């Protein structure tokens, strides 16, 4: 056994690859190997001889297996070292330039608008994007025959045949948030409701999904004069100008009475928008005093409380402020467009330091 031990330990130590090691394993401890043959001879020995030779053969087998494993690990280390020599990387070289992410103009403008209205004392309210037609239409005094309730304008959720429950829609405006807020918190209140809305329309200035913000203020003595002041303060802050001039035109919305479209004095010299000067007028939003039926739907007594509401498209005022010509590009997921129109990731809008940096 000493001869076997010396023979195989020397051969294992000299093995240069795993194939040679495998051949030595088979030759030594395989089923037909020399050590295995010696172990089969134990059956022909006396019990006394087996007590002496059995442990020696097991120890020899274990020693050879341990040597095989150690040599295999050593060969693997050598192979890894050779591979690392060929694949080394100089970590002292300069890395790739780190690209900072950019904020989407819609997100930026939503933050700007929120900062302005927060300064005016308005809280942010939110609601679901899938609404019942009661919250989206009936509670807002929109009659059953109104064109906005047609499937040409509104996305209705699919219903199983025979389902007689009231239909649900993808909300067409954020006005349902006003109803939900009034029902939960009552009056007085002062909120804005930003979020996604959906309408079946698609062209250069319309998309099936867009962003809107609405405002609601309810008190005992709120009037159109308060509405005008709030809108003037908002336009000054948002467009970052000292003076603005607004024009109110009589209009009709089912959820306000009286209702008014609001225009902003501006000029388009050289294709560039300048707010507060010039001879042009630009429509920016719809507004009015909250209709008594809307107050009642929100659980508020219109004989005791009154208020104003208005709504505007966030995407549209972003286009106006930052000179973006096509609304559809907002949703193209084009990183080149975002790098051109986007905003620095750490740029937080605030009134003291400037909204848009």
DSSP letters, 306-353, are EEEEEEEEHHHHHHHHHT---GGGGGS--HHHHHHH-EETT---BTTT
pLDDT in tens, 100-112: 778 888 998 999 9
pLDDT in tens, 323-333: 888 888 888 88
Residue 95 clears pLDDT 80, i.e. is over it: no
Please state which architecture CATH assigns to domain 104-344: 2-Layer Sandwich (3.30)
Find the mean pLDDT for residues 74-86. Answer: 85
Instruction: Break the chain into its structural domains and give their ranges.
Output: 2-85, 104-344
At residue 8, the pLDDT reads 81
HSE (side-chain half, CA atoms, 13 Å) at 346: 1
Q: Which segments of 22-105 are extended strands (E)?
A: 102-103
Average pLDDT on 199-210 reads 78
* Tens digits of residue pLDDT in 118-173: 999 999 999 999 999 899 999 999 988 888 888 788 898 888 777 777 789 999 99
Q: What tens digit of pLDDT does each residue of 231-266 get?
A: 999 999 999 888 899 999 999 999 999 999 999 998
Q: How many CA atoms lie within 13 A of 127 on its CB side?
A: 27
Provide the β-strand partners of residue 311. 214, 286
Question: How far apart (Å, rounded) are the C-alpha atoms in residues 24 and 30?
Answer: 9
What pTM does this model have? 0.67
Phi-psi region of 246 (alpha: psi -120 to 50; beta: other; left: phi over 0): beta
**CA angle, 169 as apex, 163 and 170 as ends, to 5°?**
145
- Strand spans (E) along 5-118: 102-103
Task: Measure the CA–CA gap between 205 and 325, rounded to whole angstroms.
Answer: 9
Q: Which of 4-13, 108-117, 125-134, 307-316 has the lowest mean pLDDT?
A: 4-13
Place of tokens 């319309």: 206
According to the model, what pLDDT value does residue 249 have?
94
β-pair type (189-198, 123-124): parallel
What are the structure tokens assigned to 317, written together?
């005022």
Q: Is pLDDT at 357 greater than 60 in this prediction?
A: no
Helix (H) or strand (E) holding 199: none
Quote the CA–CA distance of 125 and 177 in Å, as a whole number: 7
Q: Which residues pair with 16 in a beta bridge?
A: none
Judge whether 327 and 210 are in contact, CB under 8 Å.
Answer: yes
Is residue 81 predicted with pLDDT exceeding 60? Answer: yes
């Amino acid at each position: 056994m000493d001869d076997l031990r010396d023979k195989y330990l020397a051969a294992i130590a000299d093995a240069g690859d795993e194939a040679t090691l495998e051949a030595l394993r088979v030759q030594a401890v395989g089923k037909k190997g020399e050590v295995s043959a010696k172990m089969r001879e134990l059956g022909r020995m006396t019990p006394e001889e087996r007590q002496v030779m059995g442990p020696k053969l097991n120890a020899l087998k274990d020693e050879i297996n341990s040597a095989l494993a150690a040599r295999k690990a050593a060969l693997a280390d050598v192979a890894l070292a050779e591979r690392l020599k060929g694949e080394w990387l100089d970590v002292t070289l300069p890395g790739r330039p780190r690209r900072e992410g950019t904020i989407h103009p819609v997100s930026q403008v939503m933050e700007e608008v929120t900062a302005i209205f927060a300064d005016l004392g308005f809280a942010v309210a939110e609601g679901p994007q899938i609404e019942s037609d009661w919250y989206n239409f009936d509670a807002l005094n929109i009659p059953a025959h109104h064109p906005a309730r047609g499937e040409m304008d509104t996305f209705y959720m699919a219903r199983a045949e025979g389902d007689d429950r009231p239909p649900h829609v993808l909300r067409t405006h954020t006005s349902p948030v006003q109803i939900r807020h009034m029902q939960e918190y009552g009056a007085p209140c002062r909120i804005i409701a930003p979020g996604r809305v959906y309408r079946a329309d698609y062209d250069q200035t319309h998309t099936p999904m867009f962003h809107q913000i609405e405002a609601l203020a309810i008190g005992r003595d709120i009037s159109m004069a308060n509405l005008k002041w709030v809108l003037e303060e908002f336009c000054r802050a948002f467009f970052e100008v000292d003076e603005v001039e607004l024009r109110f035109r009589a209009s009709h919305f089912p959820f306000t009475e009286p209702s008014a479209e609001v225009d902003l004095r501006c000029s388009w010299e050289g294709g560039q928008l300048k707010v507060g000067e010039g001879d042009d007028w630009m429509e920016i939003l719809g507004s009015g005093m909250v209709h008594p039926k809307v107050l009642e739907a929100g659980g508020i007594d219109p004989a005791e409380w009154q208020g104003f509401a208005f709504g505007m498209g966030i995407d549209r005022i972003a286009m106006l402020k930052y000179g973006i010509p096509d609304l559809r590009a907002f949703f193209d997921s084009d990183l080149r467009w975002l790098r051109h129109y986007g905003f620095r990731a750490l740029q937080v809008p605030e009134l003291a330091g400037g909204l848009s940096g």
